[in-house]
């Protein structure tokens, strides 16, 4: 009953050939036009990452290896650029803001939307985003909201993000009102409440010193082995990586999705720049290492480079492979 009924004709598959812009880009975004007759997905990513990629690709005509490294590691957030101006309208309501809230608002006002680990503004933005989602949807969804919010990568939370994108682009609807109160709230009311909740949560969890709210102090990654959840095994065998503070988010070109507690569980499985003019001038890095054996020196040998945004040169030609080889395996037929 649920088997495939056939295939999309090859010539009707989504494709792009010699586009006018001279480049092709994708970030799990919708790539087909409205009215495309075949089902591809109902869970495309919002356009924040692809828009940023296209912005960078329009900067000039000729790009260097260093340019592409910069693009891969980019942490500018188009989501923050869309949502933050709505938050900054609270400057007109300073009479109802505490000194801590005013201080955080000033931090956002001077922000360039870079989700850098050393900045405070990304922390304020991400805490606000969660409070905003909650105050928009939890009154209608009840306990379902807590299930929805548990992971930023789940399809259900994507639905909430789609909703925010829509109301920011087209205006609020009846879901904005808090059905648990007698008055009818508007979007400004929900933004004010969400901002107050956000600053309260940050203060409770990380103290009143806003200088300590740096994103990298909150948003952290540990690369975990399936058996590394057992503390004793991890201690004996060194299964997990160290824990690192990290920038970015799920809506930046350099993507990091997180669970509750801002623990990163997803990122780029590899970063690769292929130089088709000179294959040996290609560059790559992976989050772990070339070996899956915990005792090997190559088990997590690339992790620090990955976190720091460093790359390793690839070896494609026979000469480059031999020059870079540390060990050689020789197989002799018996």
CA dist 29 and 27 (Å) reads: 5
Q: Which residues contact 52 (CB under 8 A, 6 or more apart)?
A: 74, 76, 77, 78, 252, 253
0.95 exceeded by pTM: no
| CATH number of the domain bearing residue 151 | 1.10.1400.10
Number of domains in the chain: 3
Is there a single domain that holds both residue 106 and residue 194? Answer: yes
Last residue of a domain, one of 40, 64, 88: 64
Instruction: Tell me the pLDDT tens digit for each residue of 88-142.
Output: 999 999 899 999 999 999 999 999 999 999 999 999 999 999 999 999 999 998 8
pLDDT value of residue 43: 82
Domain that holds residue 281: 220-314
Tens-binned pLDDT, residue by residue, of the chain (334 aa): 889 888 999 999 999 899 988 899 999 999 998 899 998 888 889 999 999 999 999 999 999 999 999 999 999 999 999 999 999 999 999 899 999 999 999 999 999 999 999 999 999 999 999 999 999 999 998 888 877 776 555 656 678 889 999 999 999 999 999 999 999 999 999 999 999 999 999 999 999 999 999 999 999 999 999 999 999 999 999 999 999 999 999 999 999 999 888 999 999 999 999 999 999 999 999 999 999 999 999 999 999 999 999 999 999 999 999 999 988 899 999 8
Is there a single domain that holds both residue 201 and residue 246? Answer: no
Is there a single domain that holds both residue 192 and residue 232? Answer: no
pLDDT value of residue 156: 60
CA dist 237 and 227 (Å) reads: 10
């001279």: which residue's tokens?
22
Q: HEC string of 166-216?
A: HHHHHCCCHHHCCCCCCCCCCHHHHHHHHHHHHHHHHHHHHCCCHHHCCHH
Longest dimension (CA), the chain: 86
């Amino acid at each position: 009953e649920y088997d495939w009924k056939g295939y999309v004709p090859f010539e009707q598959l989504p494709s792009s050939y010699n586009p006018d812009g001279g480049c092709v880009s994708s970030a799990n975004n919708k790539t087909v036009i409205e009215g495309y007759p075949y089902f591809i997905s109902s869970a495309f990513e919002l356009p924040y990452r692809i828009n940023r990629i296209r912005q960078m690709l329009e900067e000039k005509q000729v790009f260097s290896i260093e340019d592409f490294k910069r693009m891969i590691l980019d942490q500018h957030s188009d989501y923050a650029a869309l949502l933050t101006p709505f938050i900054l309208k609270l400057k007109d309501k300073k009479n109802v803001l505490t000194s801590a809230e005013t201080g955080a608002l000033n931090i956002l006002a001077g922000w360039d939307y870079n989700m850098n680990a050393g900045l405070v503004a990304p922390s304020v933005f991400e805490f606000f985003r969660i409070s905003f989602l909650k105050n928009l949807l939890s009154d209608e969804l009840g306990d379902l909201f807590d299930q929805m919010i548990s992971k930023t990568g789940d399809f259900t939370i994507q639905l909430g993000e789609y909703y925010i994108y829509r109301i920011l682009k087209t205006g609020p609807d009846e879901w904005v009102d808090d059905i648990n109160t007698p008055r009818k709230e508007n979007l400004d009311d929900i933004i004010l409440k969400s901002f107050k909740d956000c600053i309260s949560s940050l203060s409770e969890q990380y103290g009143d010193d806003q200088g300590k709210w740096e994103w990298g102090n909150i948003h952290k990654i540990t690369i975990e082995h399936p058996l590394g959840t057992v503390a004793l095994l991890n201690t004996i065998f060194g299964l997990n990586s160290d824990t690192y503070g990290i920038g970015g988010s799920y809506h930046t070109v350099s993507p990091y999705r997180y669970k509750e507690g801002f623990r990163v569980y997803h990122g780029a499985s590899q970063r690769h720049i292929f130089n088709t003019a000179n294959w040996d001038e290609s560059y790559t890095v992976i989050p772990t290492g070339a070996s899956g054996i915990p005792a090997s020196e190559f088990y997590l040998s690339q992790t620090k480079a990955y976190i720091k945004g460093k790359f390793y040169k690839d070896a494609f030609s026979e000469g480059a492979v031999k020059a870079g080889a540390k060990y050689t395996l020789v197989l002799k037929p018996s």
